[in-house]
Amino acid sequence: MMRRRWTATVAITLASVLTLAACGGGGGKGAQPSSGGGDAKKQVEVFSWWTGPGEADGLKAMRQIFEQKNPSYTFFDAAVAGGSGDKAKALLQSKLQADTPPDTFQGHAGAELQGYIKAGDLEDLNFLYDELKLREVFPAQLVDQISVQGKVYSVPVNIHRSNVLWFNPSVLKEAGIAGAPKTLEEFVADLGKVKAKGKIPLSIGSEWTVTHLLESVLLGSLGTDAYNALFKPGADWSSPQVTKALETFKTIMSYAGDPQDDWQPAAKQVADGEAAFNIMGDWAYGYFHNPPDGGLGKTSKKDFDWAPSPGTEGTYLWLSDSFTLPKGAKNRDGAVAWLKVAASKEGQDAFNPKKGSIPARKDADQSLYTDYLADALKDWSSDKLAGSIQHGVSVNQPWLAAITEAVGLFIGSKDVAALQKALADAAKANAQ
């Protein structure tokens, strides 16, 4: 009997599924996992959305360790292009519904992962946590986000920060701006100064990057405790405080440049001096910093710089990528072998410096994490925590889909009242 699963909230046509599937890597563009024959049983299908510069380099580094340690297995890169994983998660849901899961898939810790757990899609990994003593090396607050009733369901590979303001120092200097704005009021004033100089004040990417921007504005306007309270049952999304935050969001969006195809070209506008600001997660650091064969090869503090997004200093708006063991995986043993590499100190220290994230493990080699990443390690250990909306910590997939729809409509209408009502309705329908 097919296991009950939560209903996909993003409509997927057969044509779109086929198109997305063609984005998989491994054996070449459009390659599919082979079936039949002795060698096929050795193949491990790893499903993610890491295809861009930085993220793909990190995955490649971990893949090399996996293949060195497991010569009898073949790694199949089933990555699906598209920042934040919206397209990948839609395709994944169709695969789970059809009982044809990949051997392991990427999932965000928190409410997003909880959806897969409650639907019965995942094996618990207590056996692996016991064997590798992982509870001793992962932060307890992180393990809680990937557990249900004492059972752990994924292996976290990193910690990311969502609330990062990236800026071009030269563009700010030309506009007479002394440094990164600390408050939302200062940010709006600085956006105006940049606009007056004829540069793009704020670069944005595809629709999901606008939701990403919204969560930083909500946090910066409401403060940490009020922001976290939005995701509890009975939360008041109709309050005057939320209205004020959304009005500020509307003002900030009025300074945005033309939407780019995804987050990378929007970030590149900052690094190239076309735009002043971009609010994006710290995976942008890997893209900015990595050599030109895997990034832009830019120089920090000269071509780009960073600060907490306005109003959020002292709070880490966090997310974590993790890997799972789906029920019914074709190559369970191969998936477990991959999870062991993903959980290892060696794997995480190879992956994270290239990805632009810090390790989930507490015993990482801190000498590898310099520049922005050194700041992130320090802040993660001392800041207050708030969970990302766009990246699955605070809201589940149906709730995020409703928020995404509301933001998409707002981009066209600029109607704050309609946006707030849609957000309030989404919370009432999905908060648990």
| In a shared domain, residues 281 and 381 | no
| In a shared domain, residues 187 and 68 | no
Q: If we measure between CA atoms, which residue out of 314, 270, 308 comes closest to residue 182?
A: 308
Into how many domains does the chain fold? 2
Burial 226-237 (b: 16+ CB within 10 A, else e): bbbebbeeebeb
**22 domain-assigned:** no
| In a shared domain, residues 181 and 255 | yes
Residue type, 105: F
| In a shared domain, residues 129 and 232 | no
**344 domain-assigned:** yes
**13 domain-assigned:** no
DSSP string computed for 16-71: HHHHHHTT--SSSTT-----SSTGGGGEEEEE----STTHHHHHHHHHHHHHHH-T
User: Number of C-alpha atoms within 13 angstroms, CB side, residue 103?
Assistant: 24
**126 domain-assigned:** yes
Show the domain range for 270: 164-317+391-430
177: domain CATH number is 3.40.190.10
Dihedral Cα 40, 42, 45, 51, nearest 10 deg: -100
**Per-residue pLDDT in tens (0 to 9) along the chain, 432 residues:** 333 333 433 443 333 433 444 333 343 333 455 444 444 559 999 999 999 888 999 999 999 999 999 999 999 999 999 877 889 999 999 999 999 999 999 999 999 999 999 999 999 999 999 999 999 999 998 999 999 999 999 999 999 999 999 999 999 999 999 999 999 999 999 999 999 999 999 999 999 999 999 999 999 999 999 999 999 999 999 999 999 999 999 999 999 999 999 999 999 999 999 999 999 999 999 999 999 888 999 999 999 999 999 999 999 999 999 999 999 999 999 999 999 999 999 999 999 999 999 999 999 999 999 999 999 999 999 999 999 999 999 999 999 999 999 999 999 999 999 999 999 999 999 987
| In a shared domain, residues 130 and 170 | no
What's the pTM?
Answer: 0.90
| In a shared domain, residues 152 and 201 | no
Q: If we measure between CA atoms, which residue out of 347, 311, 299, 262 comes closest to residue 83?
A: 262
Angle at 116 between CA 114 and CA 47, to 5 degrees: 120
| Distance between CA atoms of residues 122 and 300, nearest Å | 41
| In a shared domain, residues 295 and 412 | yes
**132 domain-assigned:** yes
| In a shared domain, residues 273 and 395 | yes
Strand partners, 108: 321
**297 domain-assigned:** yes
| In a shared domain, residues 237 and 332 | no
**14 domain-assigned:** no
| In a shared domain, residues 148 and 177 | no
Residue that is written with structure tokens 């120089």 in the block: 299
| In a shared domain, residues 148 and 172 | no
**286 domain-assigned:** yes
| In a shared domain, residues 100 and 134 | yes
| Sign (positive or negative) of CA dihedral 286, 292, 294, 295 | positive
In sequence order, the 6+-apart residues with CB closer than 8 A to the CB of 207 are 259, 404, 407, 408, 411
In sequence order, the 6+-apart residues with CB closer than 8 A to the CB of 325 are 104, 122, 123, 125, 332, 335, 336, 339
